[in-house]
Amino acid sequence: MFSGTNLPKMGTYNVNVVLSSIQASEGISRVEIAQQTGLTAQTVSVIVRRLIENGIVQESGSLPSAGGKPRKTLRVNPAAAYAVGIHFDPREMSIVVVDMTGRELASSQQELSPALEPEVLIDQAAQVAHKLLANLGVPSDRVLGVGAACPGPIDQSQGLVTSPPRRDRWTEVPIKRLLKHYIRFEVIVDNDANAAAIGERWSGHGRSTSNFAYLYLGTGIGGAMFLSNNIYRGVSLNAGEFGHVVVEPHGTPCYCGNRGCLEAMCSPAAITRNVHVELALGRDSSLSPLYQRGAALVDHTAICLAAAQGDEVARRVIDRVAEYIADCAVIIANCLDVELLVLGGKAVTHVAEIYRDKVTEALRSLPLARKTHTLRVAVSELSIDGAALGAASMVLHANYAPNTAHLVSVPAGA
């Protein structure tokens, strides 16, 4: 059922509208904010005064004005608030600290032993985060909270990682509760793809885009979507599982129970397996000497590097993967009709251009509505680990992004 709205909800919403106008600009005047948002000059003035009093916004310069006195420009105060982002990946953990503008101030990466107990790892993450904050001299009361990005699916209501692929120890881990216990800040948990998309929205290609999809190529393949200015999560918070779009109906069995899923055909493990098969058959490749020293040495990174450098065997496998990704992109275009598709995640390293070119070509020639509108493709350029930066952005987003859902949140007990 629908809920009504009221003045307090409206007030909070408008504050965030003003703040997001300032956030998206490189210095903006009160008059321009009023023009952009449709709020009255008086409302903007009252809100800005409060934001300045609270130290969230600063007057940072002035713009020439036609006739009158110069207009003061406003910027977000970077030191107004900080957030921590933690990305738990099956193989490594990344931790970043960002300021109020979403800029990365410090980061730490470490490889993980699969034998590590989740609770031990979470404790360790909390220690690293506190050390990063201490080194930066960030006072605890300026830390808005911690975002944690994990492989999905996630039960957000309980902060549980429910059944992550390839990581049995993490089944049913109450990550939100544990992390909150060890780190002593508020915690938001989301899957890695949603985190990366929020990061992209906050400080990447998605900044001025209200509808975009994110195809997240990590150890597995996930996805996320910003629809009408908000992450769309679905009823059980598991929307955007583009990795389980079937691209080859009779293809490789997938752990999900289906066959030929994008992830089963295109994950780093699948790519590595396919190249190993070629090399075992004795195909001529720049990777052959490495393979003869030990198959494990020809890993996903080595393969992507070889493909980028023109090795035929690696390139053929990567080209096929690019075609499957393009098939999925066309399905995303036909179903979601978004403005932008962002390709990101660690598995695009070295091969991003190959993927981008093939996807671009498919999106120009195959979606039904291509004549009305062509979906744009971009490769994420965020940091070394977009999901960690995104996890930190989740905290800023939850606190400061205008969210129409909050205007009409369901009353308690309804």
Binding a copy of itself by CB under 8 A: which of 337, 361, 379, 398?
337
Q: Which stretch binds a copy of itself (CB under 8 A): 75-83, 137-145, 222-230, 312-320?
A: 222-230
> What count of other Cβ atoms lies within 10 Å of the Cβ of residue 98?
30
Q: Would you give the end-to-end CA distance of the chain in angstroms?
A: 9
Q: Is 31 in the site for a copy of itself (CB under 8 A)?
A: no
Helices (H), 284-351: 288-293, 300-308, 312-336
Q: Give SS3 for 349.
A: coil
Q: Which stretch binds a copy of itself (CB under 8 A): 20-28, 102-110, 141-149, 276-284?
A: 20-28
Q: What is the dihedral of CA 266, 268, 273, 276, to 10 degrees?
A: 120
Q: Is 136 in the site for a copy of itself (CB under 8 A)?
A: no
Binding a copy of itself by CB under 8 A: which of 79, 105, 227, 379?
227
Q: Is 181 in the site for a copy of itself (CB under 8 A)?
A: no
User: Beta strands 82-88 and 71-76: pairing type?
Assistant: unpaired
**Residues binding a copy of itself: what is the number (CB under 8 A)?**
81
Q: Is 171 in the site for a copy of itself (CB under 8 A)?
A: no
Q: Is-contact 408 2, C-beta < 8 A?
A: yes
Q: Is 223 in the site for a copy of itself (CB under 8 A)?
A: yes
Residue (386 or 402) nearer to a copy of itself, CB:
402
Q: Is 338 in the site for a copy of itself (CB under 8 A)?
A: yes
Binding a copy of itself by CB under 8 A: which of 52, 79, 237, 295?
237
CA 75 – CA 71 distance, rounded (Å): 13
Which of 67, 274, 216 lies closest to 287, judged by CA?
Answer: 274
Binding a copy of itself by CB under 8 A: which of 147, 153, 206, 268?
153
Structure tokens at 311: 């090795």
Lookup result for tokens 């404790």: 123
Q: Which stretch binds a copy of itself (CB under 8 A): 79-87, 129-137, 183-191, 252-260?
A: 252-260
For residue 28, the 8-state DSSP code is B
Q: Is 308 in the site for a copy of itself (CB under 8 A)?
A: no
Q: Is-contact 111 346, C-beta < 8 A?
A: no
Q: Is 239 in the site for a copy of itself (CB under 8 A)?
A: yes
Q: Is 232 in the site for a copy of itself (CB under 8 A)?
A: yes
Residue (21 or 285) nearer to a copy of itself, CB:
21
Q: Is 281 in the site for a copy of itself (CB under 8 A)?
A: no
Q: Is 236 in the site for a copy of itself (CB under 8 A)?
A: yes
Residue (140 or 255) nearer to a copy of itself, CB:
255
CA 267 – CA 274 distance, rounded (Å): 11
Helices (H), 147-219: 175-183, 192-203
- Tell me the closest approach of the beta carbon of residue 295 to a copy of itself, in angstroms: 30
Is the bond preceding residue 153 a cis peptide, omega within 30 degrees? yes
Binding a copy of itself by CB under 8 A: which of 31, 41, 63, 369?
369
Binding a copy of itself by CB under 8 A: which of 1, 66, 115, 281?
1
Please list every residue from 196 through 215 that binds a copy of itself, using CB under 8 A.
Answer: 208, 211
Q: Which stretch binds a copy of itself (CB under 8 A): 56-64, 104-112, 280-288, 399-407?
A: 399-407
CA 285 – CA 407 distance, rounded (Å): 59
Q: Is-contact 341 332, C-beta < 8 A?
A: yes
